[in-house]
Amino acid sequence: MVKRKAIRTRGKVQLSKYFQELEKGDFVSVTMERAVRSNFPKRVQGRTGIVEGKRGKAYMIKIKDRDKEKKFLIEPIHLKKIKHP
């Protein structure tokens, strides 16, 4: 897990990434934004999941943890949309 941001991006937060819109069924990767405090567990970092819906400004992400499916509320700045694997 990377502990620091690159020198040119340190302290910067992309507003377009903060206000991105995701649809139900989109595949996303969880990548923690270092400049913003996060409330999700560290074990979720680097995992991929499916968007289940939206609650307030956060998205409900369904992630498979070993043999169980778990749901996490994650803000959009920590999510990156990916193509279906």
Question: How many structural domains is the chain composed of?
Answer: 1
pLDDT of residue 1: 56
Asked if residue 57 belongs to a domain, the reply is yes
Q: How many CA atoms lie within 13 A of 42 on its CB side?
A: 4
* Partners of 5 in the β-ladder: none
- For residue 64, is it within any domain? yes
Q: Is 62 within a domain?
A: yes
- The domain that contains 43 carries what CATH number? 2.30.30.70
Q: Does a structural domain hold residue 10?
A: no
Give the pLDDT of the chain (85 residues) as one tens digit per residue. Answer: 567 778 888 877 888 888 999 999 999 999 988 888 877 788 888 999 999 999 999 999 999 988 999 999 999 999 999 987 6
Q: Does 1 map to a domain?
A: no
Answer positive or negative: Cα dihedral of 69, 3, 36, 19.
Answer: negative
Q: Are 23 and 81 contacting, i.e. CB atoms less than 8 angstroms apart?
A: no
Q: Which two tokens stand for residue 38?
A: 């996060």
pLDDT of 64: 92
pTM, two decimals, is 0.84
Which residue type occupies 38?
S
Residue 30 has what pLDDT? Answer: 93
